[in-house]
């Protein structure tokens, strides 16, 4: 499984590139995702991604200091306020905000830092790796999940997959 939306990412030419197998393993192993920067606006990509991942059975935890509830779920001001474990920290913020979010991810014992499309911060990625976290940069968790588990056709995309299996 090569190519896809992130095929031309500048991250692919760095030591921080991830393989499809690594991303698949993350999405298979971990089910609790804190989405930092999740928007209550249904037209925003973060909202769409959260709604999709909820429908796929993931536990989505909204993190946005300007909101109290998103998609019927309590919204937290920061990662450090979330009760219980956080497995994946999915970042929908500008790159300048990433180092502080990575420090919070380390502090709460997250397993993965996932930076969405267009979010690249190599120094913060290195800090996360040194602390033992896996790192994905410049990839969309929703798009990657749909690639691996057959959800791209839900968007009307021609996946090239021929199957009689109905979801």
Residue 165 scores a pLDDT above 80 = no
Q: State how far Cα 51 lies from the chain centre.
A: 13
pLDDT, tens digit, 9 for 90 and up, residues 63-89: 999 999 999 999 999 999 999 999 999
Helices (H), the chain: 20-29, 45-55, 98-107, 122-130, 141-149
Structure token pair of residue 111:
């397993």
Extents of the domains making up the chain:
11-153
Q: Structure pTM?
A: 0.87
Domain 11-153, what architecture? Answer: 3-Layer(aba) Sandwich (3.40)
pLDDT, tens digit, 9 for 90 and up, residues 99-125: 999 999 999 999 999 999 999 999 999
């Amino acid at each position: 499984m090569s190519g896809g939306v992130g095929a031309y990412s500048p991250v692919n030419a760095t030591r921080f590139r991830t393989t499809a197998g690594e991303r698949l393993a993350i999405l298979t192993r971990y089910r609790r995702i804190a989405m930092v920067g999740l928007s209550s606006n249904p037209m925003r990509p973060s909202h769409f991604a959260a709604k999709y991942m909820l429908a796929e059975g993931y536990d989505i935890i909204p993190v946005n200091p300007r909101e109290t509830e998103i998609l019927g779920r309590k919204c937290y001001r920061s990662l450090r306020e979330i009760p219980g474990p956080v497995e994946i920290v999915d970042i929908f913020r500008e790159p300048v905000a990433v180092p502080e979010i990575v420090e919070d991810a380390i502090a709460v014992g997250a397993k993965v830092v996932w930076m969405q499309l267009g979010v690249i911060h190599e120094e913060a990625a290195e800090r996360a790796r040194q602390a033992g976290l896996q790192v994905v940069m410049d990839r969309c968790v929703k798009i990657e999940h749909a690639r691996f588990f057959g959800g791209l056709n839900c968007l009307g995309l021609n996946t090239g997959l021929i199957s009689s299996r109905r979801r």
